[in-house]
Chains A and B, each alone.
Chain A
Amino acid sequence: MSPNYILKRLMMIVYTLFVVSLIVFAITQVLPADAAVMMLGENATDEALNALRQSMGLDAPIWAQYGHWLGSLLQGDFGTSLRTGQPVGPIMFEALGRSLLLAVLSIGLMLVLAIPLGIIAAIRRGKVADMVVSLVSYAGVSLPEFVTATLAVLFFADLMKWLPPTGYVPLTENFVDGIRYLVLPVCVISIILIAHVSRMVRSELVDVLHTDYIRAARMKGLSGGTVLRRHALRNALLPTITIVALDVGYLLGGVIVVEEIFAIPGIGRQLIVAIQARDLPAIQAGVLIMAATYSIVNFVADILYAWLDKRIQYD
């Protein structure tokens, strides 16, 4: 892996964020909401509105507004929320932290469950265990988060009263309670991921088990376990890195829904509130931060993949 490749990938992140900033700016520009009217109310006089538009730079041509916005972004200034009057950046990054905790726990749970499930299904291909795993994974990918979340709250909180229904307690404040509030959201987010990734692991491993080098290892007299551990898994699990990284896009979408249902003050909830209130600076910042998270995760995954798979020579 050459420094050139890393540089190229970094340039791609920059390009990605540039395109996303254009899209977000275009969408929020067309949004039928006049920021000045929003701040001053419907009954404001024309002079007051014009004065505010001038001070906010809303009377400048669109490209100049975009340039101004991008310029402040590059200096780390995400703008001021139209809803609360607070700077958007710090609020969004603080919320991102809570969402990342949710996301990392979900990915962790997914890896712990999905990989063994996929391996069992591949080894017992066509047997009962395989059928059970694929049945469960079909059900898993077919239930949207809002359905599983609602059903989980109904069963585990309302009926059995094992866990609190919704809410959020910071782990630093009360660790045990914090975890109790996180159990349901994390499980709900990871269901679709587990279903998807276990299916991918199964099909990769089935393909690898049919290759000549596995046959050779078997004929050499190695036991099934050794062949699996030393030869098959290594090659079958590599593509999983890329799949998991691409799934992060889906994960971020799931986080939005789950945070909304479980009332977790993460970036997804902030975004929904911002979208409902047409709080343009908050929407712009939230979408950009989400896209940046996704790009960085995929960058890391690509580097990791190239580093682990010695056959790949990027230039």
Chain B
Amino acid sequence: MIEFLKRLLRTPQGAIGVTLVALVLVAVVLGPTLAPHDPEALSPLARYKGPSTAFWLGTDQYGRDIFSRLLIGARATVTMAVFATIVGTLIGAIVGTASAFMGGRADEFIMRTIDAVMSIPSLLFALLIVNLLGSSTINALVAVAIAFAPGMARITRSVALAVRKQDYVNAAIARGEGSSYIVMREMLPNVIAPIVVEMTIRVSFAVMLFATLSFLGLGAQPPAAEWGLMVSEARRYMHLSAGILIWPSAAIAIVAVGFNLLGDGLRDALNPRT
């Protein structure tokens, strides 16, 4: 484990990725305690202020402290994205592994169906599902999870196909184990490493997808401090103060870059090549 961490931190991607993701985790866990101001406290006299010692990143169109809102919003944005990615990955991993295990006609059928589902852009898929269930944070989570599942199933299957040919799986079949036992206990554990890499990178897509849904008015609702929503609300006032637009945008980008880099770092650390 220590050895692995060392290898992860030796690559520039890994080191920067770990740092950024760690910062984000601090904001998620300690955000409300660290926030210097009440994120929903309006101060009509202090609107559109630039950065100062009192308001580190300035104030927004209602005089709310932007830095506090970003810290609070980290929970809404990042936790949801991670959770949705995990749920989507789990569904995808089970379907993909099962498909690889069954092989033949069933596999062909499942994969062609997944290809078909993937012809609907994931943003559109998420929009449809949110619209079906109603705009709320939880529904956006379900939508993103469902939109991610087919892609993860496809990746898991290709990894699982390689595992399927291994001797220990044949041994389990020869022992007369049931299908669900082989899929869950023999195959899944061995496809986990590449899936974790893919999942980490996907968290950044999830963050962006969530923010986009909120931006389009179908995710978090005002006055929540969700970052996409902050950008959306700032749009009308952006000519008065660019800060209210730039800080939440930067926050989204930092989280996305962080998870992207961490994913690439993990990939290099997990399978050392050249």
Contacts of B256 on A, CB cut-off 8 Å? 141-144
C-alpha spacing A30/B129, complex, angstroms: 10
Whether, in the assembled complex, A40 has its beta carbon less than 8 Å from a beta carbon of chain B, the answer is: no
Contact (Cβ within 8 A) B112 A250: no
Given the interface pairs A20-B119, A151-B245, A294-B119, the reply to whether A31 lies near B253 with Cβ below 8 Å is: no
In the complex, whether A100 has a CB less than 8 A from a CB of chain B is no
Tell me the complex Cα distance, A15–B245, Å: 44
**B123–A151 CB distance below 8 A:** no
Among B117, B122, B208, B242, chain A packs the most CB atoms within 10 A around the CB of: B208
Query: Which chain A residues in 269-298 approach chain B with CB under 8 Å?
Result: 271-272, 275-276, 278, 283, 287, 290-292, 294-295, 298
Chain B interface residues (CB < 8 Å from chain A): 112-113, 115-124, 127-129, 131-132, 204, 208-209, 211-212, 215-216, 228, 231-232, 235, 238-239, 242, 245-246, 249, 252-253, 256-257, 260-261, 274
- What separation, in Å, do the CA atoms of A278 and B231 have in the docked complex? 26
**Chain B interface, >50% SS class:** helix
In the complex, the answer to whether B238 meets A146 with C-beta atoms within 8 Å is: no
Name A110-163 residues within 8 Å CB distance of B.
138-139, 141-147, 150-151, 154, 158
Min CB distance A243 to B, Å, is 14
The answer to the question of A27 belonging to the interface, with a C-beta cut-off of 8 Å to chain B, is yes
Which secondary structure dominates chain A's binding surface?
Answer: helix
A275-B119 CB under 8 A given contacts A142-B253, A142-B256, A257-B216 = no
Task: List the B side residues contacting A244 at CB < 8 Å.
Answer: none
Return the chain B residue nearest A155 by Cβ: B242
Determine if A16 and B261 form an interchain contact, defined as CB atoms under 8 angstroms apart.
no
* Interchain CA distance A82-B211 in the complex, whole Å: 30
Contact B112 A257, beta carbon cutoff 8 Å:
no
Shortest Cβ distance from B16 into chain A, in angstroms?
9
Residues of B within 8 A of A139 (CB): 253, 257
A204 within 8 A of B: no
Question: Measuring CB to CB, which residues of chain A are less than 8 angstroms from any residue of chain B?
Answer: 12, 15-20, 23-24, 27, 30-32, 138-139, 141-147, 150-151, 154, 158, 210, 249-250, 252-254, 256-257, 260, 271-272, 275-276, 278, 283, 287, 290-292, 294-295, 298
Within the complex, what minimum Cβ distance (angstroms) separates B66 from chain A? 16
In this complex, which of A20, A30, A291, A294 has the most chain B Cβ atoms within 10 angstroms of its Cβ? A291
The residue that B253 contacts in the complex, of A147, A249, A253, A287, with Cβ under 8 A, is A147
- Report the nearest A residue to B16, measured CB to CB: A138
13 interchain pairs, CB-CB under 8 A: A138-B261, A142-B256, A144-B208, A144-B215, A144-B228, A150-B238, A151-B245, A151-B249, A158-B239, A249-B121, A257-B123, A271-B124, A272-B127
The minimal Cβ–Cβ distance linking A142 to chain B, given in whole angstroms, is: 3
Q: Please, which residue of chain B has its CB at the minimum distance from the CB of A131?
A: B12
Pick the residue among A143, A147, A272, A290 that contacts B216 (CB under 8 A).
Answer: A272
**Nearest Cβ distance between residue B49 and chain A, in whole angstroms?**
18
